[in-house]
Structure 1
């Protein structure tokens, strides 16, 4: 038996035959595409194809919810991207047919994104999916898609396009193994929402033959190739029984000795909020408000925004909802905001920084949040992403407080963690975004498979920043929570609570596993686990040390 290692993403054990999806070809080999009367007719054909592809993504987004809907909406924006259209139009007017023009335009954009690195490089697979669908439309053939296995199988793939990831069926995919990708890739995010055991960045899995039995441990990050069948089935059955028992956890969040821990939900829209409200959560720790902005040519009006936020607040009467202001820029560009063409967008004008040149963008969003809170009677807390200085936090808090709302900031820039005690002098709460915090603390692209070991939230340096922030909250007697993907790891949740984190916000699928795990340990055990993790030299030894303490 061979054991392959990768980065754990979604805990759980899955067993079944490998369903190996070969690396996808180009959208189409270079060839003579459809012929049109002139360049304008060719461009009109491209515009029609782009609308159809974008509409297809949006139809899937409306049928999905939460992170899956956000990923699909962003891809719709790529299909309608004016920069891509401009590149295609130049080639068409130079004599290229629409198919060749699309391929050349996407190639140029892919080269730019690959050179930029960071979160922008993650968009390459998304762009290639847009290319395949555009070419299919231009050729008059069905758009490509992933054929799922007929029976329960372990899906082995390089990476998945957004539309394919959102269409995964947990009944037919017992586990997901990615050759590439990171713990915050689009595929990983959707797998987490669907609660499919997932390991990414698995070296050596390319040599696995289709149909080979695999046992995937999404908590340990291991893939056993051709294990003993009886033992593997027993492990998978035991995990299924554990998950069934966990499904009975009904809250509220607290340790075995009664220490309270707020268990909150991450949501993206009204539909995902209503679904999350059925889980044993005490509110929303992260509403990603950018879903209403992505894929649009113009900014949504105050009324449009207020209606969207009101749906979420109405789903949680008597419980607070934390709304993150617009987190755009970097890998989520807007047609009407931001400088565009930045050399390193991940370190550029994104998040709160967008309001430096356009303060009205933030003011209109805050007006919409205040209006939604007034209309629903909901308790709205508002936090800003990408805050790096105390002055930024103070200016943001003043604008939020003027509207009678609670103000907080995301701790995802290392400077914010180091100055957490001073940040809490001007804001009401802090929320730690471990995804970006790991990326910036470790100077590693969070979407790069070969750097996934650096952006692992169990990295002791990342945990040190979390501990500093949590300690500042304890001294200031103000709430500090975690809303990054780290909160969805039941074992790591115990460590975070031991550091002094008071709330954990996660995808609804992770609520019961995390809550049930916390209910089995005491607050002292959590503190011991935190000390063990912080003393470790690497993520693997940190996990092992905590498992030895907590079982």
Structure 2
């Protein structure tokens, strides 16, 4: 028996035979075209059009993040900048195959140089290029194997187009050698509830048909497992299935202390699944879906209908809506598309909205109108708040539109350190642990080379969370967490011990967190949190919490 390590997505466990993803198509040779530029130009146009249409067809078959990713890929395939690069090479006498290969490779390098979200998306270009090359060569595009029996899929990374349409009756688990917890593979695996391990570098050694245990909770792949280990894994899987199938109860600790368990949502249509999984409301509704594919801001009426649909799904329950969080990885042509050397530290979030206040006012108008037409308990919050003045500005503006509950996201150290002063103005605070970790550790949360620093278990991050929790208790203001940290069952217990009263996460994580909370009292949570805080780094904090728990 041996164990390979990676980053587990979720808490699941699965066993089965390995089946490796086929290697990418070989790169074409740079030989002159034998048919002329016009013919090559027509071949490229047909292949790209076909691939874009195929990606859009796949998008129509799915919902949520998967659909957004596939639609984005289709747009990338037909990107005018890429088209110009391909045309330049064709005009110079290259074959369609070489023009596509070389243009996409150059564009990929440019995105990698930018880093951040765009750097992470550079890998998506490989999949698009492979699909276009396959069309040009008249061969099937590389994809998920179909051995005819359930299997554990092993790949360098998985293209969004493949992850979105995985047959979950056949794919027992997913292992990738590349990628991190914020890659598209990880995001989609978490959304679909797939047992997954990403960044397992040593998985290159796995061979077809060997049996493995994929333990996402432990972050390991066990090779050559014994019969006893296989039996234990099967028992754990059965227990998890039973927990998922059990009727959901409100989140609470073992002593009865209520801890609201909420859902992070990206579109109104995601609300049905969240409610079915026992979400007690919405802790983070991202409004970006209305804006990201647009050339201009959506109208008040378009926004109102989307918000009304969301709020109508949760009558009498809390729904926290974050106003537009644009900038950094999400530049918008009508808001903040100016080049910035370091956009993560630039005009983003509330800063960008203040620079175009009419967009913020229209969004608040639409939210207020939707609130008047529905029975949910609407809370609104601003992203990337760094100062007391910004807090006062946003809460006053929200109240100007009749919105009863206005709060802030705590994503930068300054807002955590001054949480008592910010909460003197705001009605609540929601901690975004992804960005809070990024800014605390000075480590881009989407850059693989510094992924080891991007860990919300780090005591520096936990200390900032504790500051916000303390301020909330002293002022009687609610404090929640809506970052990925809330989906880690043991870390969720730690967060409660630090003063957090609600946890918002991907709906697929609700059952695990609900069970972890039900096994501990408030005193237990405080003791486990204290053990984690006393550690020197993220690894030892996690180990200390396990030992104390």
TM-score in terms of structure 2 length: 0.91
Q: Which residue of structure 1 aligns with residue 7 of structure 2? A: 7
1:16 corresponds to 2:16: yes
Q: How far off is 1:503 after superposition?
A: 0.6
Q: Which residue of structure 2 aligns with residue 475 of structure 1? A: 474
Q: How far off is 1:346 after superposition?
A: 2.9
2:300 to 294, 299, 302: 302
Q: Which residue of structure 2 aligns with residue 351 of structure 1? A: 349
Structure 1 residues 252 and 47: CA distance shift in structure 2, 3 A: same
Of 98-107 and 303-312, deviating more is: 98-107
Q: Which residue of structure 2 aligns with residue 453 of structure 1? A: 452
Q: How far off is 1:398 after superposition?
A: 2.5
Partners of 2:372 and 2:125 lie apart in 1 by 41
Structure 1 residues 268 and 346: CA distance shift in structure 2, 3 A: same
1:154 to 130, 152, 155: 152
Structure 2 matches for 1:15-164, cutoff 5 A?
15-25=15-25, 30=30, 38=38, 42=41, 50=48, 52-92=50-90, 96=94, 98-137=96-135, 143-164=141-162
Q: Which residue of structure 2 aligns with residue 366 of structure 1? A: 364
Q: Which residue of structure 2 aligns with residue 462 of structure 1? A: 461
Partners of 2:214 and 2:524 lie apart in 1 by 28
Question: 1:27, 1:132 within 8 Å by CA — same for their partners in 2?
Answer: no
Partners of 2:448 and 2:206 lie apart in 1 by 19
Task: Summarize deviations over 1:149-202 as a string: whole Å, max 9, x none.
Answer: 533322222221111121223332222222121112211111111222222222
Structure 2 matches for 1:133-532, cutoff 5 A?
133-137=131-135, 143-405=141-403, 406-532=405-531
| Aligned partner of residue 505 in structure 1, secondary structure | strand
Structure 1 residues 73 and 281: CA distance shift in structure 2, 3 A: same
Q: How far off is 1:531 after superposition?
A: 0.6
Partners of 1:402 and 1:141 lie apart in 2 by 60
Partners of 2:21 and 2:119 lie apart in 1 by 22
| Aligned partner of residue 452 in structure 2, secondary structure | coil
Higher-RCO chain (CA-CA 8 Å, sequence separation at least 6): 1
Question: 2:175, 2:200 within 8 Å by CA — same for their partners in 1?
Answer: yes
- For the aligned residue pairs, the C-alpha RMSD in angstroms reads 2.7
Equivalences, count: 548
| Aligned partner of residue 263 in structure 2, secondary structure | strand
Q: How far off is 1:19 after superposition?
A: 1.9
Q: How far off is 1:90 after superposition?
A: 4.4
Partners of 1:270 and 1:325 lie apart in 2 by 15
Partners of 2:489 and 2:352 lie apart in 1 by 35
Question: 1:249, 1:515 within 8 Å by CA — same for their partners in 2?
Answer: no
Question: 1:496, 1:530 within 8 Å by CA — same for their partners in 2?
Answer: yes
Partners of 1:155 and 1:421 lie apart in 2 by 48
TM-score in terms of structure 1 length: 0.91
Partners of 2:513 and 2:43 lie apart in 1 by 50
Of 487-496 and 292-301, deviating more is: 292-301
Structure 1 residues 542 and 165: CA distance shift in structure 2, 3 A: same
Partners of 1:398 and 1:316 lie apart in 2 by 26
Question: 1:325, 1:385 within 8 Å by CA — same for their partners in 2?
Answer: yes
Question: 2:24, 2:142 within 8 Å by CA — same for their partners in 1?
Answer: no
Q: How far off is 1:260 after superposition?
A: 0.7
Of 519-528 and 158-167, deviating more is: 158-167
Q: How far off is 1:68 after superposition?
A: 2.3
Q: How far off is 1:217 after superposition?
A: 1.6
Q: How far off is 1:233 after superposition?
A: 3.2
Q: How far off is 1:360 after superposition?
A: 2.4
| Aligned partner of residue 277 in structure 1, secondary structure | helix
Of 507-516 and 328-337, deviating more is: 328-337
Structure 1 residues 430 and 21: CA distance shift in structure 2, 3 A: same
Structure 1 residues 90 and 292: CA distance shift in structure 2, 3 A: farther
Q: How far off is 1:92 after superposition?
A: 4.8
Partners of 1:230 and 1:29 lie apart in 2 by 52
Structure 1 residues 526 and 148: CA distance shift in structure 2, 3 A: farther
Structure 1 residues 142 and 149: CA distance shift in structure 2, 3 A: closer
Q: How far off is 1:505 after superposition?
A: 0.7
Q: How far off is 1:224 after superposition?
A: 1.4
| Aligned partner of residue 224 in structure 1, secondary structure | strand
| Aligned partner of residue 422 in structure 1, secondary structure | helix
Q: How far off is 1:206 after superposition?
A: 1.2
Q: How far off is 1:359 after superposition?
A: 2.4
Task: Summarize deviations over 1:471-505 as a string: whole Å, max 9, x none.
Answer: 22112211111111111111111111111111111
Of 536-545 and 454-463, deviating more is: 536-545
Q: How far off is 1:273 after superposition?
A: 0.9
Partners of 2:525 and 2:439 lie apart in 1 by 27
Partners of 1:34 and 1:267 lie apart in 2 by 52
Partners of 1:500 and 1:380 lie apart in 2 by 23
Q: How far off is 1:432 after superposition?
A: 1.3
Partners of 2:33 and 2:158 lie apart in 1 by 27
Q: Which residue of structure 1 aligns with residue 548 of structure 2? A: 549
Of 254-263 and 418-427, deviating more is: 418-427
Partners of 1:385 and 1:150 lie apart in 2 by 47
Partners of 1:201 and 1:446 lie apart in 2 by 15
